[in-house]
Structure 1
Amino acid sequence: MNQLRIGTLAGLFAAAFGLCWAGAGLWDSMDNTLPAVPLLAPVVLALIAAVLLGTALSLRARLRAQRERRPDARPVDRMSAARAVVFGQASALVSALVAGAYGGFGLFLLLERMEVPNRRDQALYAGLAVAAGVAVVAAALYLERVCRLPEGDEDDPTGPMGSRA
């Protein structure tokens, strides 16, 4: 499994940011009403970040207990850890796109439409969505780091991720 690259995530963020900023400007220039930023956007992203962080902390504690050979240590199933990492990677990629889109839209609102009181709230929601998207990316990178195998342990079936499958 390949690791996430910060450059890939930053590129997705920048592309979505630019496209959404330009699209909002084009949409507004045709005298169309701009869509509203949903209040639940940052909430959902923050919940995903919390789930990823909770999974990472749980796996980290279980792996530490295994390394210290505690008698109550539960083994970590390799497939479960791999699924968690894949979920984290997918969440990070989508969150980079979503955060970029909300960032571009929020910047457009800040620069062009700050005189409308409702749009100030929309810009705030967009900013919170960007912050929550960054939190998802950070939690996914941490989860990936927690589940990374040490060098040379790819073929060891009794390695740090638990017993034989």
Structure 2
Amino acid sequence: MATGGPESGRAPGSGKEPQRPGSVRLTSRRLLVAIAVLGAAIGYMMVRAIEAGGGVAPAVSWLTLVAWAFLAALLFAAARNTRQRVQVRRERIEPQRAVFLLLIGKASAFVGALCTGVYAGFALSFLGGVSASGPRNRVIMAGLAAVISVLVVTAGLLLERACRIPEDPDETP
């Protein structure tokens, strides 16, 4: 589980939390941005390669948007529930469940960042023909998918942070 908070004994100005045995570092925002940029390049180049080969690039469907929104809602609910249990009520949860929730949060943040970039790359690749209704709809749908993917990243990060063990579990807030 992620441990400690911003005041968890790190040296002022060091920018890094001390690594305790059995702890996991919080996901870096820089890494998530880098993954999203890589995803945007992949999405953009994928559409260009498909069209250069004479094919039709895939479109983002409403079902995709609904599935991503449902995933984001589940992650937000899990983050809220975990935060209430661990941070507010200071309950102990089973170690396997804690690790599972932590990994789900991290994985969701990484996959959400990659998909945010891919969908943004899709949207960028169709911007040139936005005056026609077909490309305009593709830009809108891909843009919405990118925004919902950002929600998945946010929910994943909140779930990851909800798994942090409070500094002094015996101390009442």
Same fold (TM over 0.5): yes
RMSD: 2.1
Which of 108, 124, 135 is matched with 2:125 structurally?
Answer: 108
Q: Which ranges of structure 1 fall in alignment gaps of 5 or more residues?
A: 68-73, 154-158, 161-165
**Separation in 2, partners of 1:17, 1:5:** 19
Residues 16 and 101 of structure 1 are in contact (CA less than 8 Å); yes or no, is this contact kept in structure 2?
A: yes
Q: Are residue 27 (structure 1) and residue 50 (structure 2) matched?
A: yes
Residues 20 and 105 of structure 1 are in contact (CA less than 8 Å); yes or no, is this contact kept in structure 2?
A: yes
Q: What whole-Å deviation, never above 9, does each CA across 1:63-95 have from its counterpart, x for those lacking one?
A: 35534xxxxxx6422321221111111111111
Matches within 5 A, 1:1-165: 1-64=24-87, 66-67=89-90, 75-111=92-128, 113-151=129-167, 159=169
Q: What whole-Å deviation, never above 9, does each CA across 1:13-40 have from its counterpart, x for those lacking one?
A: 1011012212322322343222222222
**Separation in 2, partners of 1:19, 1:59:** 34
**Separation in 2, partners of 1:95, 1:65:** 27
1:50 is displaced (CA, Å) by 0.9
TM-score (ref. length: structure 2):
0.75
Report how many residues are paired: 147
2:83 is paired with a residue of what secondary structure? helix
TM-score (ref. length: structure 1):
0.78
Change over 3 Å in CA distance of 1:137–1:83 after alignment to 2: same
**Separation in 1, partners of 2:110, 2:133:** 32
**Separation in 2, partners of 1:78, 1:53:** 21
Change over 3 Å in CA distance of 1:119–1:15 after alignment to 2: same
The AA in structure 2 aligned to 1:44 is A
Residues 42 and 130 of structure 1 are in contact (CA less than 8 Å); yes or no, is this contact kept in structure 2?
A: no
Q: Which ranges of structure 2 fall in alignment gaps of 5 or more residues?
A: 1-23
Deviates more, 1:141-150 or 1:95-104: 141-150
**Separation in 2, partners of 1:65, 1:94:** 29
The AA in structure 2 aligned to 1:79 is Q
